[in-house]
Amino acid sequence: MQPSAHALGQAGEDAALAYLLEQGYELVHRNYRHGRAEVDLIVRLGQQLLVFVEVKTRSSTRYGYPEEFVTPRKQELFRRAAEQLQEDLDWTGDIRFDILALTHTASGLQVEHFEDAFY
């Protein structure tokens, strides 16, 4: 039985965070909101890199790959939220925009990490 869209999305975000933590990232913020934008995860790698992460989870690739659902409009909202958070944190280091694409499979969630996915 397939989980509901909300449950799948939450499971995907949890799995994405676990994946990033295993890779050595530190969580800075989860579900950061600025205006109409929401950034699923903001993580830091070392002292000089702040990464804004869009998590896309799909039950299958029947209608396309998860990463294909990050639209230009979403990217623009993401950029605005990133600018605001950089200002709030007085961040002077580098930033990057990543996508974590998760697909539900018989063995669980498959994670694909796209670093520097846009901008």
In the chain, domain spans: 5-114
> Two tokens at 53?
């992460």
Q: What is the pTM of this model?
A: 0.90
pLDDT at 112: 94
Give pLDDT, residue 11: 87
The span from the CA of 13 to the CA of 15, in Å, is: 5
Q: For the domain bounded by 5-114, which CATH number is listed?
A: 3.40.1350.10
At residue 69, the pLDDT reads: 87
Residues 102, 15 contacting (CB under 8 angstroms) = yes
pLDDT, averaged in runs of 10, over the chain (119 residues): 76 94 97 93 96 92 86 93 94 96 88 92
Which one-letter DSSP state was computed for residue 2?
P
Of the candidates 75, 29, 76, 33, the residue with the CA atom closest to the CA atom of residue 50: 29
pLDDT at 2: 60
Side by side, the strands of the sheet bearing 108-114 are 26-34, 37-45, 49-58, 94-105, 108-114
Q: What pLDDT is attached to residue 66?
A: 84
Q: What residues contact 76, with CB distance under 8 A and at least 6 apart?
A: none
pLDDT of 1? 55
